[in-house]
Amino acid sequence: MRLEFIAKGSEEASGGSKEEKAGLKILSGDQLKELQQIQLMILDDIIAICRRYQISYMLIAGSAIGALRGGEFIPWDDDIDIAMPRREFEKFVRVVRKHWSDKYSVIHPQDPDNEGRLIPKLRLKGTEYRTFLEWDLKESGIFIDIFTFENIPDNALLRKIHGILCNGFGFALSVRRLYRGRKHYVKIYNSPSFYAKCALGALLSFASIEKWTQWTDFWYSACRNTKTRDVSCPTDTFHYFGEIYERAGIEETYEVPFSGRMCAVSRDVDGYLRHRYGDYMQVPPESGRMRNWYLTYDPGIYGKKERADV
């Protein structure tokens, strides 16, 4: 079980679900539209930063589907996903921290206080959107996910070793997080496998969750060769071996319309999306439209009412 899989619910979730009994909620229609507009504002800033400092990025996952399917946000989507090659991400973090720290925060997995997070998020200060998985974060502003495409070896044996280490450390971090948050997660997930993974997480508690995050990120980024044939995104759904793509098809980009602005997508975005979703142009039924369960939501000064009062 990946923690991401217990963090989302479908649009058909009812008031009697175990998630809602545990105090979790799904955004209302008006809240969702408001959140999307704030996320688009964040995206505009990301695009401006990337253009000014020549940083490569691309829309991925549901955001890329929305761009190709209708040129806009998927109506029920409540987040924006982008990705960057590792070297571009490192540059992006330095720029944000130097020039945009008054407006945004970003946690790097190698930070001593990384809070156990491998997937960086650019967070808007003065807001709050605390999803189910972010119950323990000190800062939980409205965010955009930033996935990293990692270099991977061309040599078959070295790739196998690298992949096993990445997946092994990724799993270790996941169960370590599960153990630390067991009293929180058990509210909606209660099974023999849950307790077994918590037990394994307890065995790994000889090191802090921050250390496990640093170790995992070290192995993810261990290959420094930026000329290898392929890349992988081990933090994503199918892990290291299921997220391998040809480098040129991912890193070379072109722009497409997305909710009123032009955004970069990978040259082989169609192949990437078909690999992950099959016929992604087919609109899923309501039961397949996943949304984040959340604990608290506050758009701050970026909310509709607050903007109207200014």
Per residue in 281-295, pLDDT (tens digit) is 988 887 776 777 888
- Predicted model pTM: 0.90
Which pLDDT belongs to residue 16?
A: 54
Which pLDDT belongs to residue 288?
A: 72
Q: How far apart are CA 67 and CA 264, in angstroms?
A: 10
Low-confidence stretches of the chain (pLDDT beneath 70)? 1-23, 289, 305-310
Sorted by where each begins, the domain ranges of the chain are: 3-12+22-309
What percent of the chain lies above the pLDDT cut of 90? 73
Which pLDDT belongs to residue 102?
A: 96
For residue 25, is it left (φ>0), alpha (ψ between -120 and 50) or beta? Answer: beta
What SS3 class is residue 122? strand
Pairing of strands 81-85, 143-151: parallel
Which pLDDT belongs to residue 310?
A: 38
